[in-house]
Amino acid sequence: MNKRKVYLDHNATTPLHPQVERSLKEAIGLFGNPSSLHTFGRRAKGEIEEARIKIASFIGAEAGEIIFTGSGSEANNTVLSIFSCPSSHCTSLRGGRSEIMITSIEHPCILETAKCLEEKGTKVSYLDVDKYGKVNLESLKQKVHQKVGLVSVMMANNEIGTTQDIKAIAKIVHSQGALFHTDAVQAVGKIPVDVKELEVDFLTLSGHKIYGPKGIGALYVRKGVPFCPLIRGGHQEKGRRAGTENTLGIIGLAKAIEMRAKEMQEEETRLLKLKLILSQAIEKNIPDLYFNGHPSDCLPGTLNVSFAGAEGEAILLYLDLEGIAVSTGSACASGSLDPSHVLLATGLGAEYAHGSVRISMGRDTTIKDIEYVIKVLPKVIKKIRDMSSAYEKGGNNG
């Protein structure tokens, strides 16, 4: 059986870039503890600091403003914990501000952390989004007040791809004296990101979403803003993140970013074209569907679409049997009973959220892949709808 294998789940994770793979192989013997003073340690340390400079310069930061973490999730957890630390030291650093504001479409590593902090007494407020998943700037202006210490808004949403006007949001947040964090895990390396231009105080990025290794993330912390480590007990990362550095991960991340710098712009144009071909063909060949996310302020490779009367897990698994890998916002695929919180936050009906499919393309996606999807997807949807108790062609399907 030589069925075509088409990977369209790049927002979940990506394969290693061949150049990253090579750099990892070359660095595999670099075992020295970067904290050691001898040659072995110094060599590892040297590589890490070189990587830090590359990564920093890619997002317009200074090397000293980059902290390596074990993941994007860890970086996000770190930022939220700074603003809920009840110690008098941290409280005074924050000027007494102890409230956190986030959007309703953040990644679970922000949402769940905020929920936990809320249970421990931190006040958390939530920003709503419109039907495209965009934060309403007017409502942000009204909501940020004197007690809010941190506002966190993700730069690009992992499910629907919608991108926010981060610069404008940061400006509003700063005008009220609060600090601003953006989870840019889905943005860095896909669309231009410059921390000085955007004027953000904290920014999270991750390796494995951009063809780097898993288990490595980084947090940008603007010089001079309050900080409190999540992981303690070592002087690594200038005391801001304890634990022996992941030398290989850091080298891989730097290489991934170096390659992104070279390939990103061209790839953006190419993916936008592929997405247009795909979305037009889907719209032409499949009735009763709904595209989620913003039509233009969106990641170039992300397309999220809901099919009336067809359940997402069934779509995902039928496509998987045809060799196509996508993801879904259906409850059945997540292990919980609720469909995607992001789609619900955009006001989409639960029945449409259960029938959503996310197609996320990447650097290895070709026109042949897209043509294959265009051939297979309508058949799969038809098969499911033919046995669906909840589908009526052109009817009110929900």
Residues annotated as catalytic are 332
Site for other proteins in 348-387 (CB under 8 A): 349-351, 354, 386-387
Binding other proteins (rule: CB under 8 A), the pick from 69, 78, 330, 346 is 330
Binding other proteins (rule: CB under 8 A), the pick from 184, 193, 333, 359 is 333
- Cα atoms in the 13 Å half-sphere on the side-chain side of 298: 23
Segment near other proteins (CB under 8 A); pick from 14-22, 52-60, 103-111, 314-322: 314-322
Binding other proteins (rule: CB under 8 A), the pick from 121, 224, 295, 335 is 335
- Residue closer to other proteins, measured from CB, 69 or 330: 330
- Residue closer to other proteins, measured from CB, 286 or 331: 331
What is the chain's Cα-based Rg? 22
- Residue closer to other proteins, measured from CB, 151 or 348: 348
In which residue are the tokens 């850091």 written? 250
CB of 1 to other proteins, least distance (A): 8
Give the count of beta carbons closer than 10 Å to the beta carbon of residue 62: 15
Distance CA 90, CA 78 (A): 13
Taking CB under 8 A as the rule, does residue 332 contact other proteins? yes
CB of 342 to other proteins, least distance (A): 16
Taking CB under 8 A as the rule, does residue 337 contact other proteins? yes
Taking CB under 8 A as the rule, does residue 116 contact other proteins? no
Residue type, 47: E
Contacts of 350-354 with C-beta under 8 Å, sequence gap 24+, read 351/308, 351/390, 351/397, 351/398, 352/290, 352/306, 352/308, 352/398, 353/306, 353/329, 354/311, 354/312, 354/329, 354/330
- Residue closer to other proteins, measured from CB, 49 or 320: 320
Helices (H), the chain: 18-27, 39-58, 72-82, 88-93, 108-119, 137-143, 166-175, 195-198, 236-239, 247-285, 312-321, 341-345, 350-354, 367-386
- Residue closer to other proteins, measured from CB, 73 or 356: 356
Distance CA 54, CA 50 (A): 6
Segment near other proteins (CB under 8 A); pick from 41-49, 112-120, 159-167, 329-337: 329-337
CB of 313 to other proteins, least distance (A): 4
- Residue closer to other proteins, measured from CB, 182 or 388: 388
Binding mask 52-81 for other proteins (x = CB under 8 A): ------------------------------
Taking CB under 8 A as the rule, does residue 389 contact other proteins? yes
CB of 346 to other proteins, least distance (A): 16
Query: Quick one: which of 367, 368, 227, 371 has its CA closest to 285?
Result: 371
| C-alpha distance from residue 232 to each of 112, 114, 239 (Å) | 22, 21, 8
- Cα atoms in the 13 Å half-sphere on the side-chain side of 100: 28
CB of 390 to other proteins, least distance (A): 4
Segment near other proteins (CB under 8 A); pick from 47-55, 90-98, 178-186, 345-353: 345-353
Taking CB under 8 A as the rule, does residue 119 contact other proteins? no
Segment near other proteins (CB under 8 A); pick from 129-137, 155-163, 332-340, 362-370: 332-340
Taking CB under 8 A as the rule, does residue 346 contact other proteins? no
Taking CB under 8 A as the rule, does residue 301 contact other proteins? no
In which residue are the tokens 């317009």 written? 60
Residue type, 205: L
- Cα atoms in the 13 Å half-sphere on the side-chain side of 89: 5
Report strand pairing: 6-7 vs 99-103. Answer: unpaired
Binding other proteins (rule: CB under 8 A), the pick from 168, 261, 276, 321 is 321
| Cβ 219 vs Cβ 67: under 8 Å | yes
Distance CA 294, CA 307 (A): 17
By CB under 8 A, the count of residues binding other proteins is 27
- Residue closer to other proteins, measured from CB, 58 or 318: 318
Distance CA 206, CA 204 (A): 7
Name the site residues for other proteins (rule: CB under 8 A): 309-314, 317-318, 321, 330-333, 335, 337, 339, 349-351, 354, 386-391, 398
